[in-house]
Amino acid sequence: MSKGRFGIHGGQYIPETLMNAVSDLEKAYRFYQNDDQFNKELTALFNEYTGRPSLLYYAEKMTKDLGGAKIYLKREDLNHTGSHKINNALGQALLAKKMGKTRLIAETGAGQHGVATATVAALMGMECEIFMGEVDCERQALNVYRMELLGAKVHPVASGTKTLKDAVNETFREWVSRIDDTHYALGSVMGPHPFPTIVRDFQSVISREIKDQILEKEGRLPDAVLACVGGGSNAIGAFYHFIGEENVRLIGCEAAGLGVDNPQNAATMANGRLGIFHGMKSYFCQDEFGQIAPVYSISAGLDYPGIGPEHADLKDTGRAEYVPITDEEAVKAFEYLSRTEGIIPAIESSHAVAYALKLAPTMATNQIMVINISGRGDKDVAAIARYRGVDIHD
């Protein structure tokens, strides 16, 4: 079996042109992941630039309203740039810089990873080009302007479904064209090895902090950790240090769009089957001939036909559960958290909040649930207004 496997998933299914690039990346990562200086610099950036550790907030009103489990929110939305994406962007940019790369390229769906990458590129004095589906550029217009403001060049991608999947295709095509000075800062726990491992390691700071914080506040581990999943980076970050803790339920909430039985969905775990695409073996929404399905979700960040290989393995082994959440449920949860706690979550994170609304009342009042609020919802306000039929200028 080749490198970078999670059970049967993972691997390196990419064109030969990129093989030396990923193997150089792997070598560099193996070196720097144990390098004190590297870790010191990264921790300093996390603490001084991003504002880590992010808060673990007790959502008292929500807890009382739902009448079940005690609910904590991991506030990744409070990070600089407004989401968990900055954790990975900082890690990869620092690694790329150590490798002598001067240019970062990245895909983005909702724009959060694009903004995070553009931000660290500005900070570290690197060139930055972001690939974003045309449809996503439209629904996340504010983020496009933010990236440009930060000095990045944004390429709208007009091929295929014009969303995240196509942005990934186009970033791979760009990387194949220019490798020497360029690092592909992949934004999720997907793609060829070593990306799923590197991104997971940089995001695992989330579960490391949750563990410390909950032990300090409650003196014990949570009963359930909830996170939304598209590619799966915030979820794996929130799960990672709990994988060995068998009593902690790990629940990934995927985007079911208009419903799992409606063709307009992006619920890979519910509807996908084993495939090989974007450098990895994992589950993908596809037709009987292996053509990748055009998926849909109100959330541009979850609008992806596959899922990271480690999640696919966590599903196979039964260690994590994956549940579908519809657009309607996510929008209701978006509004609920805004009104109940005064916290506007990203529409992506709202998928996890939506499942919490169903699960918490079924749990005992002495049980604890942590929801990873992976990002803030300012970017989604215009889209939610449109969804509700309110005409505002964004």
Partner 1 sequence: MTKLGTAFQNKKAFIAFITAGDPDLDTTEKLIYEMVSNGVDLIEIGIPFSDPIAEGPVIQEADIRALAGGTTTEKIFDLVERVRPNIDIPLVFMTYCNVVFGYGTEKFMEKSHQIGIDGLIIPDVPYEEKEELQPFAKKYGIELVSLVAPTSHDRIKMIAKEAEGFLYIVSSLGVTGVRSEITTDIGEIVALSKSASPIPCAVGFGISTPEQAAQMAKQADGVIVGSAIVKMVAKYGKDSVKYVGNFVREMSSAVHSVS
> Which residue numbers are catalytic?
85, 107, 374
Tokens of 109: 């769906």
DSSP letter (8 states) at residue 172? H
Decide: 79 and 100 in contact? Cβ < 8 Å. no
Considering only residues 103 to 162 of the shown chain, the ones binding partner 1 according to CB under 8 A are 159-160
CB 7 to partner 1: min, Å:
15
Q: How many CA atoms lie within 13 A of 265 on its CB side?
A: 22
117: left (phi over 0), alpha (psi -120 to 50) or beta: alpha
Among 232, 237, 275, 375, which residue interacts with partner 1 (rule: CB under 8 A)?
275
Structure tokens at 78: 């409070």
Figure out which of the listed residues 113, 139, 165, 315 binds partner 1, where binding follows CB under 8 A.
Answer: 165
Per-residue string for binding with partner 1, 21-50, x by CB under 8 A?
A: x-----------------------------
Looking at 45-53, 104-112, 175-183, 381-389, which segment touches partner 1 (CB under 8 A)? 175-183
Give yes or no for residue 262 binding partner 1 (CB under 8 A): no
Tell me the per-residue interface mask from 178 to 197 with partner 1, x by CB under 8 A, - otherwise: xx------------------
Q: What is the Rg, in whole angstroms, of the alpha carbon atoms belonging to the chain?
A: 19
Q: List the one residue from 177, 247, 317, 362 that touches partner 1 (CB under 8 A).
A: 177
Unique residue bearing structure tokens 């064209």: 177
Nearer to partner 1, 282 or 349 (CB): 282
Strands 103-108 and 249-257, sheet pairing:
unpaired
Identify the three-state secondary structure at position 72.
strand
Q: Are 127 and 160 a contacting pair, CB within 8 Å?
A: no
Nearer to partner 1, 39 or 159 (CB): 159
Phi and psi at 186, nearest 5°, equal -65, 140
Is residue 173 a contact point for partner 1 (CB under 8 A)?
yes
Q: Of residues 277-336, which lie at the interface with partner 1 (CB under 8 A)?
A: 277-279, 284, 286-292
Query: Looking at residue 394, what DSSP letter applies?
Result: -
Query: Which residues form the interface with partner 1 (CB under 8 A)?
Result: 1-3, 11-21, 159-160, 165-166, 169, 172-173, 176-179, 274-279, 284, 286-292
